[in-house]
Amino acid sequence: MKASDYIASVLQQQRVAAVFELVGGMITHMIDSVFVQGEVPIVSMHHEQGAAFAAEAVGKITGIPGVAMATSGPGATNLLTGVGSCYFDSSPAVFITGQVNRHEQKGNRAVRQLGFQETDIVSMARPVTKHSVLVQDVRDLPNTLHGAFRLATDKRPGPVLIDIPMDVQRENVEPEWLMHHAADAPLLPEERDLVALKEALLKAQRPLVLAGGGVRAGRVTAEFRQMVEMLSIPVVHSLMGVDALPWSHTLNAGMIGSYGNRWSNLAISQCDLLVVVGSRLDVRQTGADTQGFKEGRQIFHLDCDAGEMNNRVTGCHAILGELRPALLALHEMLLPIRDTVAANCMHWLGEIAALRRRWPDTQEIPDLQGINPNSFMHGLSQAGASAGAYVVDVGQHQMWAAQSLEIADDQRFLTSGGMGSMGFALPAGIGAAIALAGQPVVVIAGDGGFQCNIQELQTVARLGLPIKIVVVNNNCLGMVRQFQESYFKGRYRSTLWGYTAPDFEAVAKAYGIPSKSISDPTQIASASEWLFADHQSPALLQVMVSPNANAYPKLAFGKGMTSMEPQEKPIAMEGT
């Protein structure tokens, strides 16, 4: 079998949802083989970064690695932002790049480049992949390809990159070259660590669970919900854990962190036991004052990655193990004490509910003229019951969405966390729409981020995908403008000054996508209903918001979890 045909057959065997690509010379054999075989859809994007983000979304939703292809040189390097995004956010993906023919490679020659577009993408990708490899011998291809899909989903998921020279793609593959590997044993937690957590839960009066992105990345949402419901223990979440519990769930205590809900940050400051499940405890979650974050409470940290525990926040009781066996073991161990823990939590849940009533998310910017972004997110959610996922870009709108979207039981929330890449949402929305096979997907972006990959509107229009696009347009780069307001005395260079945005309603119409704009709060309900009127087609809603709108609350940098802007001011400059 020709090697490129073999690659196409493996993609089919792995149940790959689609191959996202921007065609180039060094991948034409592989694209042709996938096309001729006809089993795996080919989605032609307009930038390789968009292909990478689309593949990431597929991996997040399905648990099967998303696949993107790119040609050598600029095609491969354009993938790197998306590759890094998969690595930081634990998204399973396989990236396949075409490389120049082996006889065109420079090897050890003292030249910068021999073949046209020859680029050592393997070395560039190595720091942001679980594995990155150049296939120089066709006999290595079967094991490399199958191994990539296995590795991408094993333990903590992530991306694998395979670089394949064009002449290798043309050679023949023999089926007997594939060696079958037994599945690795799961990483199990130590029983003594689980017992210690059980004893701590028995004593705690204000226990709290922090759900991170690992709950979804580990595919353990059902097991996680079963455990917290058994104990009736309140749950806060990180930005990457927004959809760990539905918004309306009685145990959902909101988002913590730099732009977390005020009541959630106050709750974490008052808890006496914090159980962290699949979260990195990075600076965006804890603030700069790590000593204050851990003071007055025990912290148990469950994760499959030893490097993430006792990293920034030290003194945690680490429970190392994959989340599924850890949660199943915990469920069995904690079952006899569930009534005791639940009784201890009853008054505590009432206290959190009181904090939530005192500090509603829609009152953080009470004097704002025009549309309140948090109120808009609630209105959008109420119209979007049919949506399978909310895919959110990076910026202030990301925080308003995470604070206020009413995520339902079976809806997903996807965003770019560790990489924090503007331009993520539109191409990732394409991937989500492919993965959800006809179910509407909501893309929420700011005017700045939307322009980073605006070319993918053509992909949406060409495929007629049911993507409902919301552009929150404040005619500035709002998150950095807010930063300049705090630290640079309102010198708004490159955010308000020297920056412009187009009329996105007109842009969408140029692509043949129905669109409209709103600027008045009274239009929110009708515009949201309009957006979902046709569940099977794309539409774009431009939401005009004041450039003065800030994302609040915001941790006052350098202070503890109870100190939030605008009531308090930072004492140090943020590093991120």
Question: Each residue of 41-69: pLDDT tens digit?
Answer: 999 999 999 999 999 999 999 999 999 99
Domain membership flag for residue 21: yes
493 plus 448 within the same structural domain: yes
Over residues 434-458, the mean pLDDT reads 97
| Of 335, 359, 383, the domain-final residue | 359
pLDDT of the residue at 182 = 77
Which CATH number goes with the domain that contains 422? 3.40.50.970
Domain membership flag for residue 244: yes
CB 58 within 8 A of CB 10: no
371 plus 430 within the same structural domain: yes
Domain membership flag for residue 237: yes
Domain membership flag for residue 568: no
pLDDT of the residue at 98 = 97
Q: Name residue 365's amino acid.
A: I
429 plus 529 within the same structural domain: yes
pLDDT of the residue at 438 = 85
Which residue shows structure tokens 């850890």?
Answer: 326
Strands 554-555, 564-565: pairing kind: antiparallel
User: What is the Cα–Cα distance from 396 to 375, expressed in whole angstroms?
Assistant: 14
Over residues 437-459, the mean pLDDT reads 97
User: What is the Cα–Cα distance from 209 to 124, expressed in whole angstroms?
Assistant: 38
- Tell me the residue range of the domain where 138 lies: 3-175
- 472 has a pLDDT exceeding 90: yes
466 plus 338 within the same structural domain: no
| Of 144, 175, 206, the domain-final residue | 175
pLDDT of the residue at 229 = 97
* Sign of the torsion angle spanned by Cα atoms 11, 15, 18, 21: negative
- 277 has a pLDDT exceeding 70: yes
Domain membership flag for residue 196: yes
110 plus 250 within the same structural domain: no
Q: How many domains does the chain have?
A: 3
| Of 342, 359, 376, the domain-final residue | 359
387 plus 414 within the same structural domain: yes
Average pLDDT over the chain reads 96
20 plus 156 within the same structural domain: yes
469 plus 485 within the same structural domain: yes
Domain membership flag for residue 184: no
Domain membership flag for residue 181: no
Over residues 192-196, the mean pLDDT reads 97
Residue 141: name the closest of 7, 294, 304 by CA.
Answer: 7
Over residues 143-156, the mean pLDDT reads 96
253 plus 381 within the same structural domain: no
379 plus 507 within the same structural domain: yes
- 195 has a pLDDT exceeding 90: yes
User: What is the Cα–Cα distance from 374 to 251, expressed in whole angstroms?
Assistant: 21
239 plus 152 within the same structural domain: no
Over residues 363-372, the mean pLDDT reads 95
DSSP three-state, residue 249: coil
pLDDT of the residue at 536 = 94
Over residues 367-382, the mean pLDDT reads 97
pLDDT of the residue at 571 = 82
Which CATH number goes with the domain that contains 225? 3.40.50.1220
pLDDT of the residue at 185 = 86
- 576 has a pLDDT exceeding 60: no
pLDDT of the residue at 575 = 64
409 plus 530 within the same structural domain: yes
User: What is the Cα–Cα distance from 562 to 558, expressed in whole angstroms?
Assistant: 11
